[in-house]
Structure 1
Amino acid sequence: METKNTPFEQLTITNRFMFAMVFSHKEIAKPFLEAILGIKIHELRDPEPEKTIEISPVSKGVRFDVFVKESGPNGEIIRSFDIEMQIEDTHEIPKRARFYQAMRDSEALCRGEKYFNLKELYIIFLCPEDIFGKDRAVYRFKNFEADDPKIEMGDLSFKNFYIFSKYREVAEKAIRDYMEYFATNKANTPATEDIDRLVKWYQTDSNTRIRYMTWQEEIDIAVELERQRADEIQKKADAEKARADEAEARADKYEKMLRELGKL
C-alpha cells in the first residue's frame, strides 16, 4: 500500500495508520468485533495499535495493526484479536496469518506455562479484493480433520478474511454496514458515523500528523532493511552456486583427464 504521496488530510480508514489510530479506541473496536464475529465481548482492554513483537534480534518480527484482548469477570484473559487492514494483495497473506498466530502464541505463554492456557485467538484481515478468488465476501477458517470435517482440532485459533469490495453480497447486515464503509467511506449507521468522526478528527490533528510522518519513516526503514536482507541472502545463494559450479567443473575436468589416460 502506498502512502507517501497521499496528503495526510485525504487519508481514509483504509490507510493502515488511520485504521490503527481509529480502532485503538475500544468503543470503536468492541462493537466492530461483536458485529463481524457474532460474539458478545465482556470487557475489552485498551487496544494496542501498531503492536510489535520481536522474538530475537535475528528473527523476523511482526507489527500488528490493532491488537486487543478481552477480559473476563475476574480480569482474566478470555480471547485475543488481531485486526489487520490489508489494501494490497501481496500473495502471501494466508502465510502471514499463520506467522502472526505463531508470534502471538509464542508471546502468550510464559516459560514453563501449560499449553492448556492458550486462549481463543482471532486473526482478522480486511481486504478490498478477493485474495482467494472464490467469489465470496467472507472467509472463515478453523482447523478440521481432513477426512471428517465434523472433527474439530480444537486449537482455538481462527482466521477470518472480509472482502469489503463485496459488501453487497454479505448476508449479515451488521457486517455489511462496516464493509460498506470501508469500501465507500460513506457512513450510514451510528457505528460507522462514530468511525468517520474519528477519521475526520485525526485528519485535522497536528500531533497525529507528526506521528504519521514518524510511522511512515519507520515503514520505509523496515522496507529498506528487508530489501537489504533479501539482497544479502541472494548474494550468499549466488556465491554458493558459483562454488558448486566451480567444483562441478573441476570434477568434470578431472574425469576427462582420467578418461584420456585410460583410467576410466
Structure 2
Amino acid sequence: EAEKSLEPDYTRRGIRLDIIVEDDKNTHYNLEMQVKNNKNPHTKAFVLPKRSRYYQALLDIDLLQQGQEYDLLPPTYVIFICVFDFFAKGNYVYTFKKRCLENLELELQDEATTMLLNTKGTHGDISKDIKSFYDYVNNHIVNSDFTKQIDDEISYLKLDTKVRREYMLMEARLLDERREGEAKANIATAKRLISMGLSVQDIAKATTLPIEKIEELKAEQV
C-alpha cells in the first residue's frame, strides 16, 4: 500500500507512510525514502531518530485492534532509505533493536526493528540486489535485473500521462493535507501556551500563527 495515512486523532500529528508491505508471514514493513538529513530549525536536533520512533508507534497502533492481546502485534520493520550517511561510519546498513544496557546479549523480544539503509555506504554485508539498488539511487546506474525492472517501471510511469496527472494531483493533495495538519498542530500548541500564561507575542513566535488568531483563541478560553 502506497501513501498510507495514519491519523491517531485530530489533535495529534498524523503521518503519511511512503510504502507499507505485508508479507505472507504477517511481517509488516514501512519503507521511507529520505533525501535530506533534516534538522529542527528551533532545536537544531536531527529529525530522523525521533521520526523513526513516532512512525513505529503509529504503525503499532494501526496494527492492534481494540480488545486484542499485545502478543498479536506482528513483527515490524521501519526502514529509511537514506542518500546520506546519518552516522558517518560507512555502513551500508544500520540496524537497531532494543537491548539491555547492563547485558548487551539480552534483546527485548518486541519484534520491532528500525533500519537505516545508507546508499553512500562503503562496507557491510548486503545482497547484490541491494548494492545495485544503491548504485541506481546514487548514480542512476542499471547493472542488474533488479534495477532494470525498476528503471523500466519508472520509464513507463513517466510516459503515462494519466499516471503523471494523478501524481501531480496527489502531490497537491499531500501539500494541502500537510498544511492542514501543521495548522491544527500550531493551534493546539497555541492553546497549551495560552493556558500556561505566555504572551501573545511569544506564542506567535513559537507557532507562526498571526497575532489576531492567537487573540481569538485566547478569547475562546476566557
Instruction: Give your verdict on TM over 0.5.
Output: yes
In structure 2, the partner of 1:144 is: 99
In structure 2, the partner of 1:183 is: 138
Q: Report whether the alignment pairs 1:172 with 2:126.
A: yes
Matched position secondary structure for 1:98: helix
In structure 2, the partner of 1:116 is: 71
Partner Cα separation in structure 2 for residue 127 and residue 208 of structure 1: 26
Please tell me the residue identity of whatever aligns with 1:202: L
Higher relative contact order (CA 8 A, sep 6+): 1
State the Cα deviation string for residues 120-146 of structure 1 (Å, max 9, x = none).
100000011112333433211001001
Partner Cα separation in structure 1 for residue 6 and residue 182 of structure 2: 20
In structure 2, the partner of 1:80 is: 28
In structure 2, the partner of 1:224 is: 179
* Matched ranges for 1:19-34 at <5 A: none
Matched position secondary structure for 2:19: strand
Partner Cα separation in structure 2 for residue 80 and residue 213 of structure 1: 28
Matched position secondary structure for 2:120: helix
Partner Cα separation in structure 2 for residue 59 and residue 181 of structure 1: 37
Give the Å deviation of 1:81: 0.4
State the Cα deviation string for residues 104-134 of structure 1 (Å, max 9, x = none).
1111111111101111100000011112333
User: Is this contact kept in 1: 2:37–2:48, CA < 8 A?
Assistant: yes
In the superposition, relative to structure 1, how do residues 110 and 95 fare at CA in structure 2: closer, same or farther (>3 Å)?
Answer: same
Please tell me the residue identity of whatever aligns with 1:57: Y
Q: Report whether the alignment pairs 1:58 with 2:58.
A: no
User: Is this contact kept in 1: 2:20–2:29, CA < 8 A?
Assistant: yes
Structure-1-length-normalised TM-score? 0.66
User: Is this contact kept in 1: 2:35–2:83, CA < 8 A?
Assistant: yes
In structure 1, the partner of 2:217 is: none
| Gap runs ≥5 in structure 2 | 39-45, 203-222
User: Is this contact kept in 2: 1:165–1:180, CA < 8 A?
Assistant: no
Give the Å deviation of 1:225: 2.6
Compare CA radii of gyration and give the structure with the larger one: 1
Structure-2-length-normalised TM-score? 0.78
Please tell me the residue identity of whatever aligns with 2:199: A
User: Is this contact kept in 2: 1:170–1:176, CA < 8 A?
Assistant: no
Give the Å deviation of 1:226: 4.3
In structure 2, the partner of 1:207 is: 162
Which among 132, 142, 164 is matched to residue 87 of structure 2? Answer: 132
Matched position secondary structure for 2:23: strand
Paired positions, count: 191
Matched position secondary structure for 1:71: coil
List structure 1 runs of 4+ shifted beyond 6 angstroms.
Answer: none
The CA RMSD measured in Å over matched residues stands at 2.2
Give the Å deviation of 1:178: 1.4
In structure 1, the partner of 2:42 is: none
In the superposition, relative to structure 1, how do residues 154 and 124 fare at CA in structure 2: closer, same or farther (>3 Å)?
Answer: same
Please tell me the residue identity of whatever aligns with 1:82: N
State the Cα deviation string for residues 16-68 of structure 1 (Å, max 9, x = none).
xxxxxxxxxxxxxxxxxxxxxxxxxxxxxxxx010111221222112111101
